[in-house]
Amino acid sequence: MTGIGFDLLATDGRARRGRVTTAHGTIETPAFMPVGTAATVKAMTTDAVASTGAEILLGNTYHLMLRPTAERVAQLGGLHRFMNWDKPILTDSGGFQVMSLSDLRTMSEEGVTFKSHLDGSRHHLTPERSIQIQHMLDSNITMCLDECTPFPATEAQAESSMRLSMRWARRSKDAFVERPGYGLFGIVQGSVYPEQRAESVAALTDIGFDGYAIGGLAVGEGQETMFRVLDFTEPLMVKDRPRYLMGVGRPSDLIGAVRRGVDMFDCVMPTRSGRTGQAFVRRGTINIRNARHAHDERPLDAECGCPACRSYSRGYLHHLFKADEMLGPMLLTWHNLHYYQDVMRTMRHAIADGNFEEVAGAMEASMNEGDIEATVDPIAKPGKPPKQGRPPKAGKDSAPPKADKDSAPPEAERVAEEKTDE
């Protein structure tokens, strides 16, 4: 096998059931990749991540090139050995993070020169250097260096950015070292403009890649616009290669994108939300910090088999967050990742069975129901009515969780937090 393999096993409408084959194992698609930016999925061991059903992780070129450096990772045996993960790894190119350092970088045709957000040291990232770094990391799926077009962008701005990315894609392909079980993905750009997306798809197809990512979305355009872009982009893409929607998203985003022919996803949403007290469940979301959960003996989600739901009550999880105990973020992160993998597994089975729309519609309807009714507090203070509460509105559980230090870093240290887990 040269590069990575992809077998399209079943389709149902535009939804696809497939399998990606790499040097470190297979990935059943549709697939969700937990984000392990700095060679770790926050609050999780790799064994715990694997137990959720995850078959591939995402690492971040920008962060790893700065600390501990790609050279150090290579010297310590590569990213798989370094982080004790023997399954596939995808690394992003670093372009999104560098582009987000608007006041710390300068860009040219050659590449990007930027200052490290850690110590102010200067670095030069070119398509060739990005590919070299990812090679040293031993990434199974390498991403081309691109410029993630900001939103909103004028048509002229989007066109200039997209064409630069296409030139960088050619250079990335030329720099990539082909070997069995390792592949390179191109990234479709073009903002919200159909003609530019079409031009980008055509350019990347002409170059030829092992897979194709859809970039420049999940940057503030909203779900409706994102789906509209997918509607006119996906039909143009080759059918025998995996499609990867970068940085997406919420469970409803995943369902809608699979419905539109996407195979692979990544997002920090389940891990960051878990650290700040938000749990994704079959009936929407829960803010475990809310007082309505303090006396609740029920699990987060009665249908979930994760350790948080099997062994602990909502009341206990509420206590952990109120007491600032680290076990709380760990358990909610574990639950969220487990739930995301449940969603992907359910969609894979539905596509194979030919009833995707029925199953997807049922999941979406459940997510819109809102949380189960609150229970009565058995030890409410005398003279004070018990806090029964009301079921929150669909997809909500009262106020959003407060941000922790990891989810709200200083401005210069944000480095594209919307797509990386730090």
Nearest to 387 by CA among 296, 320, 279, 281: 296
Helices in 234-326 by DSSP H: which ranges?
Answer: 251-259, 269-275, 307-311, 314-322
Residues in binding site: 92-96, 146, 189, 216, 304, 306, 309, 335
Question: 77 or 409: whose pLDDT is higher?
Answer: 77
**Average pLDDT for the chain:** 91
Nearest to 368 by CA among 249, 263, 255, 268: 255
| Position 400 confidence tier, pLDDT thresholds 50, 70, 90 | very low
Q: How far is it, in rounded angstroms, from Cα 242 to Cα 105?
A: 32
Per-residue pLDDT reduced to its tens digit, 332-346: 999 999 999 999 999
Catalytic residue (one of 266, 296, 371, 397): 266
The answer, yes or no, to whether residue 290 has pLDDT greater than 90, is yes
User: What are the structure tokens assigned to 179, written together?
Assistant: 């070997």
The answer, yes or no, to whether residue 401 has pLDDT greater than 60, is no
The answer, yes or no, to whether residue 245 has pLDDT greater than 70, is yes
Residue 383's pLDDT is what?
Answer: 59
When pLDDT is averaged across residues 194-216 and rounded to a whole number, the result is 98
| Position 365 confidence tier, pLDDT thresholds 50, 70, 90 | very high
The residues that bridge with 105 in the sheet, in sequence order, are: 114
The answer to whether 21 and 28 are in contact (CB under 8 A) is no
Pairing of strands 105-107, 112-115: antiparallel
| Position 97 confidence tier, pLDDT thresholds 50, 70, 90 | confident
Residue 392's pLDDT is what?
Answer: 53
Other CB atoms within 10 A of residue 53 CB: 16
Residue 158's pLDDT is what?
Answer: 97
The answer, yes or no, to whether residue 390 has pLDDT greater than 80, is no
When pLDDT is averaged across residues 280-297 and rounded to a whole number, the result is 97
Residue 421's pLDDT is what?
Answer: 45
Contacts of 182 (CB under 8 A, 6+ apart): 3, 4, 22, 23, 139, 140, 141, 142
The answer, yes or no, to whether residue 413 has pLDDT greater than 60, is no
Residues in binding site for substrate: 92-96, 146, 189, 216
Range with the lowest mean pLDDT among 54-58, 122-126, 140-144? 122-126
Residue recorded with tokens 């999880």: 317
| Position 411 confidence tier, pLDDT thresholds 50, 70, 90 | very low
Catalytic residue (one of 12, 92, 296, 301): 92
Pairing of strands 89-92, 141-143: parallel
Is 253 tagged catalytic? no
Residue 44's pLDDT is what?
Answer: 98
Residue 14's pLDDT is what?
Answer: 98
Residue 381's pLDDT is what?
Answer: 74
Is 92 tagged catalytic? yes
When pLDDT is averaged across residues 303-313 and rounded to a whole number, the result is 98
Residue 43's pLDDT is what?
Answer: 97
Residue 384's pLDDT is what?
Answer: 58
Question: 395 or 273: whose pLDDT is higher?
Answer: 273
Contacts of 326 (CB under 8 A, 6+ apart): 43
* Residue 53, preceding peptide bond in cis (omega within 30° of 0): no
| Position 90 confidence tier, pLDDT thresholds 50, 70, 90 | very high
| Position 391 confidence tier, pLDDT thresholds 50, 70, 90 | low
Q: How far is it, in rounded angstroms, from Cα 145 to Cα 143?
A: 6
Q: How far is it, in rounded angstroms, from Cα 172 to Cα 168?
A: 6
Pairing of strands 264-266, 243-245: parallel
